[in-house]
Chain A
Amino acid sequence: MNDLATYNFAYLDEQTKRMIRRAILKAIAIPGYQVPFASREMPMPYGWGTGGVQVTASILGPEDVLKVIDQGADDTTNAVSIRAFFQKVANVAVTTRTKEATIIQTRHRIPEEKLSEGQTLVYQVPIPEPLRFLEPRETETRKMHALEEYGLMHVKLYEDIARNGHIATTYAYPVKVEGRYVMDPSPTPKFDNPKMHMSEALQLFGAGREKRIYAVPPYTDVVSLDFDDHPFEIQSFDKPCALCGAEDVYLDEVILDDKGGRMFVCSDTDHCEDRRACGHAGHMLARKEAAE
Chain B
Amino acid sequence: MASQSQIYAGAFADPVFAAQSVFRDLMEGFARPGAIKQLSAKSTPPAPLGAAAGAVALTLCDHDTPVWLTPSLGKSGVPQWIAFHTGAAVTASKTEARFAFVEKSAAFPGFDQFSLGTQEYPDRSTTLVIEVEALTGGRALTAKGPGIKDETEVAVKGLPEVFLEFWTANRAIFPRGVDLVLTAGEELLCLPRTTRLSLKEA
Question: Beta-carbon contacts of B46-67 to A below 8 Å, as 1s and 0s?
Answer: 0000000000000111101100
Known: A9-B17, A219-B148. A19 touches B31 (CB 8 A): no
CB contacts between A and B, total, < 8 Å: 108
Known: A14-B16, A15-B62, A30-B175. A219 touches B149 (CB 8 A): yes
In this assembly, does B94 line the interface, its C-beta being within 8 Å of a C-beta of chain A?
no
Cα A21 to Cα B25 in complex, Å, equals 12
Task: Name the interface size band of chain B.
Answer: 35 or more
**Interface stretch of the complex, out of B68-76, B103-111, B116-124, B156-164:** B116-124
Q: Is the CB of A59 within 8 A of B147?
A: no
Q: State the Cβ distance, B146 to closest chain A Cβ, in Å.
A: 4
Q: Is the CB of B146 within 8 A of A219?
A: yes
Q: Is the CB of B16 within 8 A of A30?
A: no
Considering only residues 14-29 of chain A, those with a C-beta below 8 Å from chain B are: 14-15, 17-19, 21-29
In this assembly, does A104 line the interface, its C-beta being within 8 Å of a C-beta of chain B?
no
Among B31, B121, B175, chain A packs the most CB atoms within 10 A around the CB of B31
Q: State the Cβ distance, A41 to closest chain B Cβ, in Å.
A: 19
Q: Is the CB of B32 within 8 A of A218?
A: yes
Residues of B within 8 A of A51 (CB): none
- Which among B118, B120, B194 is the interface contact of A178 at CB below 8 angstroms? B194
In this assembly, does A31 line the interface, its C-beta being within 8 Å of a C-beta of chain B?
yes
In this assembly, does B19 line the interface, its C-beta being within 8 Å of a C-beta of chain A?
yes
B residues adjacent to A (C-beta < 8 A): 15-17, 19-21, 23-24, 26-28, 30-32, 59-62, 64-65, 98, 118-123, 125, 127, 146-149, 174-175, 179, 192-194
